[in-house]
Amino acid sequence: MEVTDLAIAGLKLIQPRVFGDTRGYFLETHHQRKLSAAGFDQGFVQDNLSFSKRGVLRGLHYQYPNWQGKLVSVVQGEIFDVAVDIRRGSPTFGKWFGVVLSESNHLQLFVPAGFAHGFCVTSDSAHVSYKCTDFYNPQNEHTLLWNDPELGIDWPVDEPLLSEKDAQGKTLREAMIPSR
């Protein structure tokens, strides 16, 4: 496994080693000892799987006060995955990073606690898997507005399919984001 630190502190891109032959391929989606040896030492307590159709945009979600880190990968399909730094006092507060995650590139994005996370499905459908560092708590979930002009995220869709909750997200200025 190769772990790469990204331009926004805390974000990491993980490239698992893929063993392929004429039958298909095999890869380890998580191996704690190998990740620890690469300087990535996170404990995960919950695994989630979501299924979405083309054009669905989920996010930008975060939890407070029980911040959640997520290790995101795609089992089937392709997504544009986005993380927004919402750590007040961070030199990259309000900055975002986006990457294509797919069943063919096998990349994983680690989104640490203190970030909002979302994705948009760019294939016909996608199964997205993510490991979480804390348990989901619906009373503590918050949503940033996906198209907040202050964030300026370059989503690959103009009119996404949104849940009511995601359509009514708050701008970065409106959001109740405490100092960490």
Q: What are phi and psi of 74, to 5 degrees?
A: -110, 125
CA–CA dist 61, 57 (Å, integer): 11
Residue of 61, 62, 64, 117 marked catalytic: 61
Residues 31, 62, 130, 136: which is the catalytic one?
130
DSSP secondary structure letter of residue 35: H
25 classed as catalytic: no
Phi, psi of 146 (to 5 degrees): -60, -30
Nearest to 113 by CA among 79, 90, 91: 90
Among this protein's residues, is 62 annotated catalytic? no
Q: Are strands 141-143 and 57-63 parallel, antiparallel or unpaired?
A: antiparallel
Angle 13-180-98 from CA coordinates, rounded to 5°: 25
CA distances from 76 to 93, 124, 152 (A): 32, 10, 28
Two tokens, residue 1: 């496994």
Q: Among all residues, which ones are annotated catalytic?
A: 61, 130
